[in-house]
Amino acid sequence: MAGPDANGGGEAPGRGVRRRVAVTGMGLVTPVGIGVEAAWKAILAGQSGAGPITLVDATNFAVRFACEVKGFSPTAWMDAHEAHREDRFAHFAMASARMALEDSGFDRSLWDPWRCGCVFASGIGGIRAMEEQYTRFLQRGPARVSPFTIPYLMINAAGGNIAIAHGLRGVNYGPVSACSSAAHALGLALRHIQWGEADLMVAGGAEAAISALGMCGFASMKALSTRNDAPERASRPFDKDRDGFVMGEGGGALVLESLEHAQRRGARILAEFLGYATTDDAHHITAPEPTGDGGARCMEMALADAGLAPGQVDYINAHGTSTLYNDRVETLCVKRALGEEAAARVSVSSTKGQTGHTLGAAGAIEAAFACLALRDQVAPPTINHETDDPDCDLDIVPNQARRRPIRHALSNSLGFGGHNVTLAFGRWEG
C-alpha cells in the first residue's frame, strides 16, 4: 500500500484545516458527443442532440423524441462479461469515470487506495433493466428473471463498479436527489477532500431513463415538450414559447483531489472547486417555490462557502430546463442571490438546450461545461432562443457562444423534491 509520502497520498489535516480542491480530470458521455472535447466542441457550435427515439418503440407515445447518446458501445470501456451485468446508466458511469481518471493521469500504484473514493449519483437508476426484467417475469415466469436484476437496478452499482475497476477503497456511495443528484455527488466529494477524509475522489452522475416508463411518466405529468415535428428546436430554455424539457441521457465524471497533492505531482489543473451549498424549497414535490427563496439562498450560501462576492461571478450554467416555471423561478433566484446589478452583468446559459435534461447526470455534465468555460474563457450558448420572455430577462447568451473573461463560474441544479444545489468553480492560473 502506498504511504503518506506517495505521489497522491498525504497525512490528513486537522479538523479545523480546510484543504483547497482541484479538478484534474473530466469524462463525458452526452447526446452531443462522447468524450470531453467532442461534447464541448458540439456545445460551442450550438448543436442539438435531439431526435426521434430509437432505444424503445415510441410509436404510440405522446412524446416521440429525446436526446439519446449515439454510437456508444459499453465494450469500448469494459469487457463484455462486465457489461452484461450492468444497466445502461452504469455503462455511462463506468465510461465517464474511466475517461476522467485517464484524463487526470491517475496511477493507482502511486495512491493509497483507502484515501481514494467515489461518490456517484443517479436520479432513477436502472429503469430500463427493471422494465425488461418485469416483462420477462410476466411473459416467461419467475424462474427466468435474471440473477443480476437487483445489481442492474441499484443506483450504488455505479460507484461500486467504478471502485472495483479502479481499486478505490475509500468512501463510496450514491446520493439520490432527482435532477440535483450529480451536483450533490460533486459537493459531497468536495467536502470529503476539504476535511481530509480523502485525497482523491471520482464524482459525478449517470442516467439512462429513455424508456417506456421514463418517457410516458414524464409525459403524463406534462413535463416534456411535445414538439414531435421539430425535436432539435424543442428544448428552448428561457424562451417565451418553451413548453417543457426534452429527455436526455448520459454520464459525467470529475476527478477531484487536494490542490496540494495535484501541484506536487505536477497534475494539469482544469479548475479550482471553490464551494458548494444545498437547500430545499420544502414546497412541492415537483414545482419550484414561486419566490425562488430556496434557490437564491442556496446560491448565496455557495458564494459564502467559496469566499466570493456576487460581483465576482462571471458565468452561471443554469439548471434551465425549458419548463415554464423552472426558468422563471431560476431567473428570480439569480437576481435575488446576486443583486440586480451583478445579475445584469453575468452570462447565464443553459446547455440543456443541446443535451436535453439528463436528470441525475445533469449536475456533473454541466459542472464540466462550467469548468471548460473557465478554461477556454467562453460562455456556451442557450440555443433555440427566438422570443424574449420578460420574466427571464437575464443575459442568456442567446444562440451563439461568446468569448468573455470568466474568473468564477457557478453551476445550478434544482431537482424535484425541492432540492437545490449550487457549485462554485474558479479559473486556475497557477
- Among 197, 208, 185, CA closest to 68: 208
Q: Is 216 a catalytic residue?
A: no
Q: How would you classify the pairing of strands 116-121 and 315-317? A: unpaired
For 360, phi and psi rounded to 5 degrees? -70, -10
- Among 181, 187, 101, CA closest to 361: 181
List the grid coordinates of 89: 446508466
Q: Can you tell me the distance from the alpha carbon of 180 to that of 183, in angstroms, rounded to the nearest whole number?
A: 5
Q: Is 319 a catalytic residue?
A: yes
State the CB neighbour count (10 A cutoff) for residue 80.
8
User: From the centroid of its chain, how far is CA 2?
Assistant: 31
Q: Can you tell me the distance from the alpha carbon of 228 to that of 213, in angstroms, rounded to the nearest whole number?
A: 18
Length of the chain: 430
> Residue 154: CB partners within 8 Å, gap ≥ 6?
125, 126, 160
The alpha carbon torsion through 42, 48, 51, 55 (nearest 10 deg) reads 50
Q: Can you tell me the distance from the alpha carbon of 246 to that of 179, in angstroms, rounded to the nearest whole number?
A: 13
Q: Which of 319, 385, 408, 419 is catalytic?
A: 319
Q: Can you tell me the distance from the alpha carbon of 131 to that of 39, in angstroms, rounded to the nearest whole number?
A: 30
Q: How far is CA 385 from CA 54, 201, 233, 389, in A?
A: 27, 37, 9, 10
Spatial contact of 2 and 177, defined as CB atoms under 8 Å apart: no
Residue 167 burial (10 A CB sphere; 0-12, 13-18, 19+): exposed
The alpha carbon torsion through 395, 400, 406, 408 (nearest 10 deg) reads 60
Q: Which of 179, 298, 371, 392 is catalytic?
A: 179
Q: Which of 91, 166, 192, 357 is catalytic?
A: 357
Q: Where do we find the cell 417506456?
A: 212
Residue 381 is classified by DSSP as: P
Q: Where do we find the cell 464551494?
A: 275
Q: Can you tell me the distance from the alpha carbon of 90 to that of 151, in angstroms, rounded to the nearest whole number?
A: 10
Residue 248 is classified by DSSP as: B
The catalytic site residues sit at 179, 319, 357
